[in-house]
Amino acid sequence: MTPEGSLLSAEALHKSYGSTPALDGVEFSVHPGEVVAVMGPSGSGKSTLLHCLAGIVAPDSGTVRYGPHDLTRLNDTRRSALRRSDFGFVFQFGQLVPELTALENVALPLRLNGTRRKDAEKQAREWLERLEVTEVADKRPGEISGGQGQRTAVARALVTRPRVVFADEPTGALDSLNGERVMALLTDAARDTNAAVVLVTHEVRVAAYSDREIVVRDGKVKDMLAGLI
């Protein structure tokens, strides 16, 4: 059963790699406008949980529900379409396209969804301004700093106004000052658009930007407020 009011939820998720269980009956939910930090040591299963929630990896059993959709029952084409339109992604190293300018990188998700270049770049420029990096609009990723690149990646994740943002160690490659700024901008922008954020991190200072923290350990989830779920 989907938790009341949740936008994205998982029930009884199991996922193993060979004989090693990564997820062992995990339950999860996140509401619109809520930021949930998923914490845990390396190899605990937190990134596997994120990938299952985003429909990138199929669980061995269990369900993942996004609104009316059961992601575990959708085919690859329909899951990919949801990731382009409804989900946004921020990764540890940004993963910007090196041949494109920052503006073109941010506009890319809109262009892939059929938005005209002029309109896509107008929206991209607005998001670069919101993330305070308009000065790098015409520069390529190799010409900008790590902090600027990660803010550009956040702008790209948010430009389609996704309903869920998945952030996997978004500050892991940044110094503390740039990391704090990226997190403040990401969470403020997501809350302003009522997007849910699933934030994977091992850093307490990053998790502090969330509304709720859960810990993944040995494939099981512990809610820091509610105890074992």
Residue 226 has what pLDDT?
Answer: 42
* pTM listed for this prediction: 0.91
Task: Give the pLDDT score at 173.
Answer: 84
Which residue in this structure is represented by tokens 């494109």?
100
Distance CA 182, CA 229 (A): 30
Closest CA to 149 of 126, 166, 133: 133
Copy the structure tokens of residue 171: 């500050």
How does pLDDT run along the chain (229 residues), one tens digit per residue?
A: 456 789 999 999 999 999 889 999 999 999 999 999 999 888 889 999 999 999 999 999 999 999 999 999 999 999 998 998 899 999 887 789 999 999 999 999 999 999 999 999 999 999 999 999 999 999 999 999 999 999 999 999 999 999 999 999 999 888 888 899 989 999 999 999 999 999 999 889 999 999 999 999 888 898 765 433 3
Which residues on adjacent β-strands are paired with residue 217? Answer: 220
Give the residue ranges of DSSP H helices in 67-217.
76-85, 102-112, 117-130, 146-158, 176-192, 204-207
- Residue recorded with tokens 């390396």: 42
- pLDDT on residue 229: 38
| Residue 43 confidence (pLDDT) | 82
Rounded-to-integer distance, Cα 60 and Cα 48, Å: 12
Determine the pLDDT at residue 225: 56
